[in-house]
Amino acid sequence: MALYSEKVMDHFRNPRNVGVIEDADGVGEVGNAKCGDIMKIYLKIDDDIITDVKFETFGCGSAIASSSMATELIKGKPVAEAMELTNKAVAEALDGLPDYKMHCSVLAEEAIKNALDDYYAKKSQNNN
């Protein structure tokens, strides 16, 4: 039995939305010191819709696949919907992750939530 699903391998080999958004509306970074994975998510948001999302991930294949899939799941979606994204949804969209790699999908969820928190923080500063 294969350790990783075809979807995990596909997103690992051909990750979507890799890169940096220079003038991002929200940036979220998370890291897991134990496994050495670092994820950074950049969001471009217009009228509460995520119009663009990019990521930089330093980590294992599962971390890269999780970042890639997570960005695909929130692209074009309202901010409120992106806030609801769970690591479970990321793992399911990848047709599952091995148990010991589930933390990679958790990192993806946290990075997105951090980026959205950053967006809200910047937005409230601009409204003051």
d(CA 87, CA 9): 18
Architecture of domain 6-127: Alpha-Beta Complex (3.90)
DSSP readout, 76-110?
TSBHHHHHT--HHHHHHHTT---GGGHHHHHHHHH
- For 48-84, how does the pLDDT look when each residue is reduced to its tens digit (9 = 90+)? 999 999 999 999 999 999 999 999 999 999 999 999 9
pTM: predicted TM-score of the whole model, two decimal places: 0.93
pLDDT, tens digit (0-9, with 9 covering 90-100), for 23-42: 999 999 999 777 789 999 99
- 6 is written with which tokens? 């075809």
Least confident of 1-15, 42-56, 95-109: 1-15
Q: Which residue numbers are catalytic? A: 35, 104
Mean pLDDT, the chain, whole residue set: 95
Report, as an integer, the average pLDDT of 95-121.
96
At 74 the three-state DSSP class reads helix
Q: What percent of the chain has pLDDT over 70?
A: 98
- Give φ, ψ of 88 to 5 degrees: -65, -45
Euclidean distance between CA atoms 90 and 101, whole angstroms: 12
Delimit the domains of the chain by residue range. 6-127
